[in-house]
Structure 1
Amino acid sequence: MVSDFMPAMSAEEFFVAAARKHLSAGRKSLSLPRSLDLAAQVLAVDLGLKPAVLYDSNAACAEQVQQYLSSLQSAQLVSKSLLTLDLNGNVVIVNPLAVRSNLEQLFGDSRVAVIDVRHSLDQPAVLSTLEGEVKRTAQDLLLVLRDLEQLKGAEKPQYVAEKSEEWNLCTVFGLLLGYPATYWFDQTKSHENCLAMTPLLVTTAWAIWQAGATSHRFCLYSFSIPAALLQELQTNLGHWRMCLRDGFERQHVLKDLEICQNTVTLPSMCL
């Protein structure tokens, strides 16, 4: 696969060339900054610093994302354990072991919280127990991931359409992407939520990928929780922060982790 590109290509150049070759939408290919962002995110997933990355750079399909990932795996830039999932047209590159570990925390020590933001509520609330749709979704996702762990270097994306049609993808993405808290609402009744004009504490983690001569700063994580629930979720946030810092200390690919927080209030919130 390396021979598809220039023979003496640096890792940075290979990542960019692979993105431009495989991830074009129409006649438009990914820009250099977006190509570097995606490369850094995929490396973070491979390192276990985050369980998955949602591909949203352009309208490239699951097959294109799989071709991109396969080229990186063939060049031994990332491990063959990474897989491409298609959830009803939403494409995710996952580290199955890391995602399963995150899901098991949901059932085990409650280090991952689920926030109920149904439109009928006066204000968001943390679910005290996993029940109903949330529990079934998490269990289904766990079963899917256990099956996927047997795959190595898959050449095709894995489609999870049948089960994912019933999932609340907002909740699922929070679990897949490794957030310490994820939102849930009863989508059988309404897709609206109670977060309008609710102060939200946004946590953002930044890091630097030293890609050759380029020092590329990128957003590793960005998620929110209602500010009013900060005290209740402080343990979850603290554990997430500690695990991320510990993970950074065990690798040498990414550096200069910076975690910051700010509060925003929006007239509406689309999940």
Structure 2
Amino acid sequence: MTMSSQELFFASARKCLSVGKKSLSLPLSLDLAAQVLAIDLGLKPALLYDSNGASATQVQQYLNSLQSAQLVSESLHTLVISGNALIINRAIVMTNLEQMLLGSNVGVINVCHTLEKPIIADLLNKDLRSMTQDLLVILREHVELQETEKPLYIGDKSEPWNLCTLFGILLGYPVTYWFDQNKSFENCLAMTPLMVTKAWATWQADAEGHRCCLYSFSIPASLHKDTQSTVAYWDNRLKERFHRQTVLSNLTVCQSVVTLPSVCL
């Protein structure tokens, strides 16, 4: 009896991502599958894996299993930065990093704790440019080595990197936060109204379909006008890519404003 794609995804998650005797639940495995499909389709460049405590090696084994079953392409890989495992579409991530160095349409917001309120930051300050260039070189070298069946560990090179800023870039957000981590990891976002943007889509894995959140990011409401064109560009690009595929459906982008007593980045 032939297994459906849903069953194959679930079987791969159960086989590769179990921690001890505990495996991913069906809803979690379906959500992960939808996210991985979105990355493979180019709808998002990466996912920070946090479904359970599975190791980076297990995550890569999961991807290898999906690739062997021809459920996803060879473009997907596991990237490990400071103990954080990300599932990436390597080609898209590299393109985004190259565009970042050329001054692409990505906003950077300075949220240093010494500021009274968040401000637009220099797109390519020295630290950000160095971090972007270093990661791009590492990824290019990895492509040349063709070591596709093992996770790519960045190692000590990432120690000076601002992971908050980098993860925003890797995850494909139109804006990312920056702060001077050499001075403090605190920020000035406490009690600051934030406009939260979320993008949802449906994977028709079963009769009802599985609804998943592809993106969730925030922008200080006070900077809405300053970042409006950047977010609009991201929104249009997402919709264009979405219309070129048939795996996911019912794209919905919604916004809401929240104010929190503290914000951890």
Contact 1:201 1:224 in 2 (8 A): yes
Gaps of 5+ in 2: none
Q: 2:176 is matched with which residue: 182, 188, 199?
A: 182
Q: Aligned runs of 1:232-251 on 2, under 5 Å?
A: 232-251=226-245
Question: Counterpart of 1:32?
Answer: 26
Contact 2:82 2:158 in 1 (8 A): yes
Q: What displacement does 1:152 show?
A: 5.5
Distance in 2 (CA, whole Å) between partners of 1:44 and 1:74 is 18
Distance in 1 (CA, whole Å) between partners of 2:180 and 2:103 is 24
Find the residue that maps to 2:209 and give its secondary structure. Answer: strand
Question: Counterpart of 1:74?
Answer: 68
Contact 2:199 2:252 in 1 (8 A): yes
Q: What displacement does 1:109 show?
A: 4.3
Number of matched residues? Answer: 265
**Pair 1:203 & 2:194 matched:** no
Distance 1:217 1:172, change over 3 A: same
Gaps of 5+ in 1: 1-6
Report the more deviating stretch, 54-63 or 101-110: 101-110
Question: Counterpart of 2:82?
Answer: 88
Find the residue that maps to 2:225 and give its secondary structure. Answer: helix
Question: Counterpart of 2:114?
Answer: 120
Q: What displacement does 1:46 show?
A: 0.4
Contact 1:81 1:95 in 2 (8 A): yes
Q: What displacement does 1:101 show?
A: 2.3
TM-score by length of 2: 0.96
Q: List per-residue Cα deviations over 1:98-129 (Å, max 9, x = no partner).
A: 11222233233441111111111111111134
Q: List per-residue Cα deviations over 1:172-214 (Å, max 9, x = no partner).
A: 1101100000011111111100100000000000000011434
Question: Counterpart of 1:3?
Answer: none
Cα RMSD, aligned residues only? 1.4
Find the residue that maps to 1:270 and give its secondary structure. Answer: coil
Question: Counterpart of 1:133?
Answer: 127
Q: What displacement does 1:96 show?
A: 1.4
Distance in 2 (CA, whole Å) between partners of 1:191 and 1:255 is 39
Residue identity opposite 1:89 in structure 2: G
TM-score by length of 1: 0.94
Distance in 2 (CA, whole Å) between partners of 1:168 and 1:76 is 36
Residue identity opposite 1:115 in structure 2: I
Distance 1:253 1:152, change over 3 A: farther
Contact 2:103 2:123 in 1 (8 A): no
Distance in 2 (CA, whole Å) between partners of 1:195 and 1:64 is 36
Q: What displacement does 1:153 show?
A: 7.3
Find the residue that maps to 1:211 and give its secondary structure. Answer: coil
Find the residue that maps to 1:231 and give its secondary structure. Answer: helix
Residue identity opposite 1:232 in structure 2: D
Distance in 2 (CA, whole Å) between partners of 1:246 and 1:115 is 26
